[in-house]
Structure 1
């Protein structure tokens, strides 16, 4: 019990150090936000998370090392809500990513993604015009599609070679037209109708060989983003479960440190309860 103060102080010192690069990353993104909406979209969450970790860590460190009961009470109060919020986020993340997956394409190694396979809050959020404008700008600025290009002996790879590639959801949905459109392959991001019939999929008319447009406004692109988010959120949820276990351990140690501070404030010897101190027994063993 006595060592709990030192342990919680040491742990919070390390989390305080961890918050510094997180805040630094947010400030760095802020300095570059005027160049890209993608970075602007990410800057504030990093800064808020970093500042929150720093404040809570300082409260826990000072409360444990200086045996300040009020700071420890604040630390435990905030930690309780952080744990509750983390549990809520884990449940929410699994709930909004329970539907949707890629569909296999004949004679292709990659899958394609259809917006109608997804539903719920996450789909509504991604497909909202204001949010999709930021997301599509983020995809464009990240150069996902130009990075797909491969040159072999000075020439683009062939259509057969491209069909054997395993594209990620964003590459499959945003950087090429759907296979059902029947477009003729020229290179990874250049496809032509070729005089054949264009499929009935609305994305067939949305496709553009303009390298700034491609299929960024296609439903397949939105579906690819949803598939990518599902995969990412599931991975983050696993990490969050590990973090949750660590935070619960921190909270239990913090409770022990808080009880130790209260005992010292009440001048109670270690191992002696307040009831025993205030009403001592006449018979001593």
Structure 2
């Protein structure tokens, strides 16, 4: 079981800041939850507490970036993609500012923060912004690699950080490459496509399907934008059915991305599993995953029904 992505994010920044005097962290008064407070304790001279003022925090970061600093922003994802989205769009994305967004509490496992704090539209909003790199790590190892890459690479980056830990997908030899699509398992019947920590559940679903004699391949898409469209199309050619699963709306996120690619290149049916056209709810993460069909068991059920319907 890997540590939480928010922990990996903070620990990696603490490590990098020891050798990079230009690295800063700006926090929106949520450091305990996002783990930014760890950075504040380790590097108090490199930490800026901006208060509950996300719009001002983004603007300040753009100014700091223009002076040569590398600012990482820390808050809940919903405040970047909704409250401060104008500043992210106009000041960060359009100017290609070297600002990094650590978007915590992404997905469904956000605790009892309330439906106002649960954002299931973030990938759709961010991937539509020209020049914005959009990343969703599958485990702590991948998260740390993404933080290192983003800190060293000029330009805006949106990093999606879940609240909880999960299974390990990668070992210490892992190296992040933007755009790369990672095939984790082969199978001739169905291709399960996941992003972020949902990929681990896709792997578990593939094991359940194998017990029924169904070959399920699994592809991990950690880089929502950019993405290797050719790799997704090639993987889709090998199977009868493509199924995407994400802790996000089925509108505009991973499912839409894969459907856009597959329909343009391969005559395959695409089933999208995620949050339908509805708002988020305040409930335990495990309950929400089951409600929206994202547990391994529910994914396997969806695949069986879809394949049975094809005959």
TM-score tier by shorter-chain length is under 0.3
Q: Provide TM-score, normalisation by structure 1.
A: 0.24
Greater share of helix: 1
TM-score by length of 2: 0.22
- The structure having more radius of gyration, on CA atoms, is 1
Q: Which structure shows the bigger proportion of residues in strand conformation? A: 2
Q: Which has the higher contact order (CA 8 A, sep 6+)?
A: 1
